[in-house]
Structures are given as structure tokens and as C-alpha cells.
Amino acid sequence: MTDGQNRLLNGWQLSKMYTFEVAARHESFALAARELSLSPSAVSHRINLLEAELGIQLFARSHRKVALTQEGRRVYWTLKSSLNTLNQEILDIKNQALSGTLTVYSRPSIAQCWLVPMLGDFTRRYPAISLTMLTGNDDVNMQSTGVDLAIYFDAAPPGHLAHEFLMDEAILPVCSPEYAREHGLLNNPQNLSRCTLLHDRQAWSNDSGTDEWNGWAQQFAVNMPTSSGIGFDRSDLSIIAAINHVGVAMGRQRLVQKRLERGELIAPFGEKTLKCRQHYYVATLSGRQWPKIDAFIGWLKERAS
């Protein structure tokens, strides 16, 4: 079967969906008929046909009254959301698309430590674009969630998405100055064996466990503690723990740089940094080279450089 034959909705049903949207908005066939310049019986007939074709009861009928069923309410809110999105896109096209909403999805640590503190610069440059920030550790379904672009940290992006390189990353151990003094860590990585290690167990798409620490220790021939320490599902949480003297975190240089500059953290082993195999990249749905998306990606690359 062709894609068109597989669709649950066809052109005839889409035309009836407009009648349904008006009737659902008013929850009245009579008021819908007045808005559509039809008779109430014509509205009722169209809704009956739509229900039969979809195999879903959209309205519960009683004497001189109709009400959306639970299924009808779901269809209505989905239709309303789709129409709002379509209307916004048409407005964006008319306004050269440098206005309207832009929904950005990011790993929580990237958003908290790197992206969010810079957003004021973007909004000053593009005041007509309204940003919505979403975060999570999973690969988001951009089509169903309305996400326009996503920022990931991994070795390779999902194959079905268009993507652009954003920036490299390197890792290095960091801790509070107090913790370093207490455990004699300055230029003494062998003393790590007596410390609590802090790490991001979901540093990339698969469960990374202690991979970051193990990779760094192998590179610099450092003996690790027998305990795996404390694991988090976000890199920024391990950094907060390190600031509060809980242990030594494996920090991502891009995300901890400002903390290092402010003296909240120190890198007790100096230049012992390991370049990550993973990198940051921006992903979008193929074919969405829209001006507002391009503007945000261009701004991200400028800030990354």
C-alpha cells in the first residue's frame, strides 16, 4: 500500500475535521451551524460521517445537547494544537520567520551550566523570538513533541536527524579547594585512592557508568579507589556535590570553566585533561532549515567558539 492509502485521515475527512473543530469549540451543533452557514442537520450529518469513517464516537448526544466524549476531547485538543502550530508557522513565514516560538531541548547539564546563562544575549538580538527550554537525558522525539532543535553530547547523533557539530569537550578532575587541601591532592593524583569519586552515570546516550573516570585514570596511569563513589544522572549535580566538599568530580571543561575561574572549584592535577571521544552537536528534523532555527544555531556556534 502507498503512504496515502495507509493514512488514517484522508482529504475528505480533513474537510469534515473543520466542521468538528467548530462544533467541538462550541459544544453545540446549532452554534456551529450558525458559524458555518449550514443547517444543524447538515452539521450533524457531517459529524456522523466522520465518526463512522474514523471508528470513534466524538460526541455524546442527548436531548437538544451534545458533549465531547473523552476520545472526542483528545481529538479536539490535538486538532487545536495542530491548527495553532500551523497558524504560527504561517505568521513566521510572513514575518521572515524571525519571530514566534522556538522550542529547544538539551541535556540538563548543558542547559544549566552553559546554555541558560547566555540566553539573555540571544533574546536581546532576537526579541521577537519566544524561547521555550526543555531538558532531559533521553533522545527526544522532535516530531511528536514540537521540539525545533536539540543539543546533545555523544559520539554520534541519531541517524534520522540533520545535525551540525557544535564544540569539542575535555574532562578533568575538579574539587573544592578545601577538599583538595584536606586530602593532599594538589599535584598528587595518587591520593585519589583515598577520595570519594563523583561522576555522571548518563554522560551520553548509553549508561556510561564510571567510563569517564576509568578513561581518565587509564590515560594518566592513576590508581582508582575500590569504591565507585557516588553516581548522578546529571554532570551538574556531581559538580554541585564537589563544590560542597563531597568528593572529586569528573568535570567537563566547557561546563566547569566559570566555576574554576571563580575559585569555587580547582583542578588539583593541573593540565591532566583528556579530550573526549564525544562532542556537542545540534540536531534538527531534516528539511527544517527555517530562519529562526538557523539564527539560533548560528548564535550557538558563535558562543561555542
Same domain, 258 and 182: yes
Residue 262 has pLDDT above 60, yes or no: yes
Residue 8 has a pLDDT of 65
| Average confidence (pLDDT) over 86-95 | 70
Same domain, 8 and 87: yes
Same domain, 11 and 72: yes
165 within a domain of the structure (yes/no): no
Copy the grid coordinates of residue 173.
Answer: 578532575
Same domain, 51 and 136: no
Same domain, 270 and 174: yes
CB atoms within 10 A of CB 227: 9
Residue 4 has pLDDT above 60, yes or no: no
Residue 239 has a pLDDT of 95
Same domain, 39 and 113: no
Count of domains observed in the chain: 3
Percent of the chain with pLDDT over 70: 92
Same domain, 26 and 68: yes
Domain termination site, one of 92, 116, 140: 92
Same domain, 136 and 180: no
* CATH number assigned to the domain comprising residue 258: 3.40.190.10
User: Can you give 8-34 as a three-state secondary structure string?
Assistant: CCCHHHHHHHHHHHHHHHHCCHHHHHH
Same domain, 154 and 293: yes
Copy the grid coordinates of residue 74.
Answer: 483528545
| Average confidence (pLDDT) over 9-35 | 87
Same domain, 61 and 193: no
Residues 135-179: tens digit of each pLDDT: 988 888 887 888 999 999 988 777 778 889 999 999 999 999 999
**d(Cα 118, Cα 122) in Å, to the nearest integer?**
7
- For 123, the domain range is 97-159+282-304
> For the sheet containing 170-174, what is the strand order?
230-232, 197-200, 248-252, 170-174, 274-275
Residues 102-112: tens digit of each pLDDT: 999 999 999 99
Amino acid at site 258 = K
**d(Cα 303, Cα 295) in Å, to the nearest integer?**
12
164 within a domain of the structure (yes/no): no
* CATH number assigned to the domain comprising residue 29: 1.10.10.10
Burial class from Cβ neighbours inside 10 Å (0-12, 13-18, 19+) for residue 108 reads middle
Residue 96 has a pLDDT of 59
Residue 206 has a pLDDT of 63
Residues 44-74: tens digit of each pLDDT: 999 999 999 889 999 999 888 899 999 999 9
Residue 11 has a pLDDT of 66
Percent of the chain with pLDDT over 90: 61
Same domain, 133 and 174: no
Q: Are 188 and 178 in contact (CB under 8 A)?
A: no
